[in-house]
């Protein structure tokens, strides 16, 4: 959104594409026109309109004679589980299915596992991180992984099938080349929250979605 100040500068907008460009400000049909043309059509008006007053009226709606009280407050953050809550829900020697984004590709991967160890402890710059040690189904070797608190993941009880198909419908070009594109971009939560959760009727025991996640 752009705002007009008394110098006729549109913050954010004019700092971008129109930096150093001469602009014309005119009114047409009660609308403020801002154009990059050096000689825009204008008309002489008996009662000149103050563009800054009119722009503010358009933005705030025309509350002539009414005092406005505007509250600019920080929106309430979405409530979510913390790492300690997650660690307390997981039991040793229990079977789970884990759905996460692969760190290398940014696309979904589901793992059926048996939990061996769960710990909530500091890691890197984070005061709290989820340390998991588990054995993947049909594997003997234990795997260790650390989830930082900005990582989105979903966990179900038991070994269940989760759809991790990242591909949309295939198409054929005029040259006969078969082409496929991913259904969403990498690290898109639709892979986990929409496709993953909708692929099974079983409810997950953990849906960890941090506020402002960084994948």
pLDDT digits (tens, 9 = 90+) for 113-134: 999 999 999 998 999 999 999 9
Average pLDDT of the chain to the nearest whole number = 76
Task: Evaluate if residue 37 carries a pLDDT over 60.
Answer: no
**Widest CA span of the chain, in angstroms?**
87
Instruction: Measure Cα distances from 134 to 96, 98, 123, 125, 131 in Å.
Output: 10, 11, 18, 24, 10
pTM over 0.85: no
First vs last C-alpha separation in the chain: 28
Q: Considering the chain, what percentage of its residues have pLDDT values greater than 70?
A: 60
The answer to which of 3-7, 165-169, 180-184 has the lowest mean pLDDT is 3-7
SS3 content of the chain, % helix, strand, coil (to 5): 10, 30, 55
Which residues make beta-bridge pairs with 120? 130
DSSP, residue by residue, 91-130 = -TT-EEEEEEE-TTT-SEEEEEEEEEEEEEEEETTEEEEE
User: Which helix (H) or strand (E) element contains residue 56?
Assistant: helix 51-60
Residue 29 C-alpha from the chain's centroid: 38
Q: Are 211 and 77 in contact (CB under 8 A)?
A: yes
Residue 155 C-alpha from the chain's centroid: 21
């Amino acid at each position: 959104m752009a705002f007009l100040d008394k110098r006729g500068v549109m913050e954010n907008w004019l700092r971008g594409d129109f930096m150093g460009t001469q602009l014309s400000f005119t009114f047409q049909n009660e609308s403020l026109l801002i154009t990059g043309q050096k000689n825009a059509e204008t008309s002489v008006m008996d009662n000149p309109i103050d563009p800054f007053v009119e722009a503010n009226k358009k933005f705030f709606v025309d509350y002539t004679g009414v005092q406005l009280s505007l509250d600019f407050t920080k929106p309430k953050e979405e409530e979510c589980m913390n790492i300690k809550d997650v660690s307390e829900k997981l039991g040793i020697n229990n079977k789970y299915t884990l759905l996460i984004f692969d760190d290398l590709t940014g696309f979904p991967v589901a793992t059926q596992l048996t939990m061996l160890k769960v710990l909530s402890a500091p890691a890197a710059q984070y005061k709290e991180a989820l340390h998991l040690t588990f054995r993947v189904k049909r594997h003997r070797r234990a795997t260790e992984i650390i989830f930082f608190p900005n990582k989105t993941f979903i966990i179900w009880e038991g070994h269940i099938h989760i759809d991790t198909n990242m591909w949309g419908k295939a198409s054929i070009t005029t040259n006969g080349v078969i082409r496929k594109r991913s259904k969403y971009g990498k690290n898109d939560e639709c892979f986990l929250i929409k496709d993953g959760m909708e692929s099974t009727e079983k409810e997950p025991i953990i849906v960890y979605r941090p506020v402002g996640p960084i994948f």
